Structure 1
């Protein structure tokens, strides 16, 4: 999770006195406003519960009123504090920390605790209305939806709630996965827009888990609805013959056979992101990124309008980071003032093993950079749990973890390095360096089969030999 405090506000109490509020953003979006005293109270609780040796440094109290420069310095210190707490495997996943964030979110939006009805959407657009409290956390809402659908308890961990924005063109943008420290009703209400909805979707990547889900009637229906939806929106590629076969299975009501056929299609189980910009293979290239099958897939439009496709395997990413920076919005003046409005520019950059002994950074500039990072981290979590022989339920409970650091005016999130193969029977990636080559960017063909992609690869600095999954 990307925690930051990019700004402060001077606000007034009921008695007219003023105070400084620190705006905590999570994944680039305002989560809550808190006072220094509230964060100090949290710090004291953490110290009491976990001891002085565990908690990070907290900015000290000041006797006199802070100057603007001191307020900004405290903002940076509090930001580092929140990042350090969140990245700690014990503190960051503690109920103390998460309940603080939930309470602060509710207080910020001034939504009282009361019974409400919340609409949760399925992939096919069907709505499920659940009766909850405004103060119910994500896990509570997910369980309420599962109960309403009669989804067995053992399958709840296979699904998650996602915040999705409906676009004017009929498509949708996956904004983020709802986290344990937020209140879904408050999150969706605070957006004040009918374009946003909460959607139930499977939260795993390995298609082998589909069998567990399909063994249950409700699970089968949910997976079937998602698969049909992904095909209809073009996330899964289907040729005419495959479309005919799928339609025949639909008419027969053969949902399991429908899903099994879909599993053989290109991009099954992927999440597609909105068009964005990348610096690979050249700066300024337009790209459509998809996440799935333990990779980021690129459809790149080169400056000469030629289309290329390729994939970056997560097992060959040494690390990645999400960087956010403030970009002034043009206001028609030659020298925009410091008070001008700013947009947040988000970038996902990952260091990739292109060939033997050669690592290269690849950057994606996209408002969905954090969602991409979350997808990468969940792939790593799933691979590592599978490697250790763990279950998907343990994997679902594992908190996303990252290393946060601040550099100049930019905010950075680094993932832990993944230096070994996900298969315990195979050697570490470092030892396989003689087999590893670049991401293979190839020309698009009319075929929908991954094994049938053909065409010319990039030449010059980017002409490397591609490898198949069997080589890893």
Structure 2
């Protein structure tokens, strides 16, 4: 997750005095407002618990009132501090840090602790109403939903709660996976829009784990509704013959068979993102990105209107980073006055360094408000591959995963992934050592004749075709 403090506010205290509030944003959205003294208190607690050697540097106290320049300097220092704490594998996962953020979120939104109903959506639009406390964290809400659905404890970790925005056409924009440091009720209600809601969806990528989930009646129903809804919204591509087969299985109530057929279809289990911009294969291209099957899939619209498609395997990414920048907004448009007091939009970019061909690495950049969600998808794919390679428990990993916790950032707020991965097969050599055997990634055009039999929910779809590197080359 990307932490930033893009702005400060001068606010009034209880006795009429004023103080500077630091607005902590997560993924470009306000999470909470805190005072310097609150962060200093957190820092002292962390230092006492974990020692001076672990805790990052904290901006010092000052005797006199800060000048505007000093406030700005402190803002930058506090931002770096919050990023360093969150990205530390011990501090960022600590209950001390997460409970501080949950309490600050609740106080900022001024929502008292009380019992409330909360609607959680399933993939088919059906709503499950659970009674929770406004102060319940993400895991508490997930367990309440599982209890209401009668989903066994050992399957809860296969699912997660996602914050989504529903469009006028019924499409879904995935904002983020709900984190351990937030309160789901507060997160969704603070947006003050009925377009936003929380959805339950499976949180793993490897379809081999579907079998574990399908052994349970509730797990089977959840996978079934997700598969059907993904097909209906055009996330999974089917031709006319496949559509007839699926319809027949649906009418018969053959849920397992429908899922098994779905697993053979293009983009089963993928998350599809909103249209955005990329610099591959050339700068300024419009692209629809989908994440799944240990890859990011690109469906690109070139400047000459030609449509092309290709995929980037996570095992061939040497590293990736998420960067944010502030774009001043004046009267609803981007203004030219950096450093002014005007409100700013946050521009997010995901960039990854990819092994294109033998000994050739290239950076590919995606500019999208969903850049961090894409990064979380990449990280969770890496987590699964590493657990699978080591023979560890996928269930334990899913329960303990810190929702795509990101690694240390540099001064440009860049977040880097682990280095390029070994092949999932431990008997094979590292990808880097096999660079001489790799062929180049290429994008192949989509013709009208190829797409004639495809059923799709979007004009941006066609018959996907990819020429390039596959896992068999590793």
TM-score range, shorter chain: over 0.9
Tell me by how many angstroms 1:51 deviates: 1.2
Q: What is aligned with 1:165?
A: 165
CA distance in 2, matches of 1:112, 1:81: 29
Q: What is aligned with 1:315?
A: 315
Indicate how the Cα distance of structure 1 residues 335 and 279 shifts in structure 2: closer, same or farther if over 3 A, else same: closer
Indicate how the Cα distance of structure 1 residues 398 and 335 shifts in structure 2: closer, same or farther if over 3 A, else same: closer
Alignment of 1:246-325 (within 5 A): 246-325=246-325
Q: What is aligned with 1:376?
A: 378
Structure 2 counterpart SS, 1:258: helix
- CA offsets, 1:136-176, max 9 Å, x none? 00000000000000000000000000000001122110000
Alignment of 1:14-413 (within 5 A): 14-329=14-329, 331=331, 336=337, 338-396=340-398, 397-399=400-402, 400-407=404-411, 410-413=412-415
Tell me by how many angstroms 1:468 deviates: 2.7
CA distance in 2, matches of 1:284, 1:467: 24
CA contact (8 A) 2:88 2:408 kept: no
CA distance in 2, matches of 1:441, 1:244: 30
CA distance in 1, matches of 2:141, 2:80: 31
CA distance in 2, matches of 1:333, 1:432: 46
Structure 2 counterpart SS, 1:186: helix
Structure 2 counterpart SS, 1:414: coil
Tell me by how many angstroms 1:385 deviates: 0.8
Are 2:420 and 1:418 aligned?
A: yes
Tell me by how many angstroms 1:406 deviates: 4.9
Tell me by how many angstroms 1:273 deviates: 0.4
CA distance in 2, matches of 1:419, 1:143: 33
Indicate how the Cα distance of structure 1 residues 333 and 51 shifts in structure 2: closer, same or farther if over 3 A, else same: closer
CA distance in 2, matches of 1:126, 1:80: 42
Indicate how the Cα distance of structure 1 residues 110 and 246 shifts in structure 2: closer, same or farther if over 3 A, else same: same
TM-score (norm 1): 0.94
CA distance in 1, matches of 2:4, 2:265: 40
Indicate how the Cα distance of structure 1 residues 96 and 77 shifts in structure 2: closer, same or farther if over 3 A, else same: same
Tell me by how many angstroms 1:203 deviates: 0.3
CA distance in 2, matches of 1:46, 1:388: 32
- CA offsets, 1:2-59, max 9 Å, x none? 1111111111112100111111111111111111111111111111111111111111
CA contact (8 A) 1:266 1:448 kept: no
- CA offsets, 1:79-132, max 9 Å, x none? 111111111111110111111110111011110100000000000000000010
Structure 2 counterpart SS, 1:411: coil
Indicate how the Cα distance of structure 1 residues 365 and 333 shifts in structure 2: closer, same or farther if over 3 A, else same: closer
After TM superposition, the structure 1 stretch with the greater mean CA deviation from structure 2, 81-90 or 152-161, is 81-90
Q: What is aligned with 2:459?
A: none
CA distance in 2, matches of 1:125, 1:63: 56
CA distance in 1, matches of 2:401, 2:409: 22
CA contact (8 A) 2:88 2:407 kept: no
CA distance in 1, matches of 2:375, 2:159: 19
Tell me by how many angstroms 1:431 deviates: 1.4
CA distance in 1, matches of 2:223, 2:285: 34
CA distance in 2, matches of 1:243, 1:333: 45
After TM superposition, the structure 1 stretch with the greater mean CA deviation from structure 2, 125-134 or 428-437, is 428-437
- CA offsets, 1:195-234, max 9 Å, x none? 0000000000000000001000000000000000000000
CA distance in 1, matches of 2:206, 2:15: 56
Q: CA RMSD in A?
A: 1.9
CA distance in 2, matches of 1:401, 1:133: 26
Q: What is aligned with 1:471?
A: 473
Q: What is aligned with 1:462?
A: none
CA distance in 2, matches of 1:307, 1:151: 43
After TM superposition, the structure 1 stretch with the greater mean CA deviation from structure 2, 178-187 or 83-92, is 83-92
**For structure 1, which runs of at least 5 residues remain unmatched after alignment?**
458-464
CA contact (8 A) 1:401 1:415 kept: no
Tell me by how many angstroms 1:402 deviates: 2.3
Tell me by how many angstroms 1:336 deviates: 4.4
- CA offsets, 1:338-393, max 9 Å, x none? 23332211111100000111100001111111110110111011111111111112
CA contact (8 A) 1:353 1:437 kept: no
CA distance in 2, matches of 1:453, 1:238: 10
Structure 2 counterpart SS, 1:434: helix
TM-score (norm 2): 0.94
Indicate how the Cα distance of structure 1 residues 68 and 303 shifts in structure 2: closer, same or farther if over 3 A, else same: same
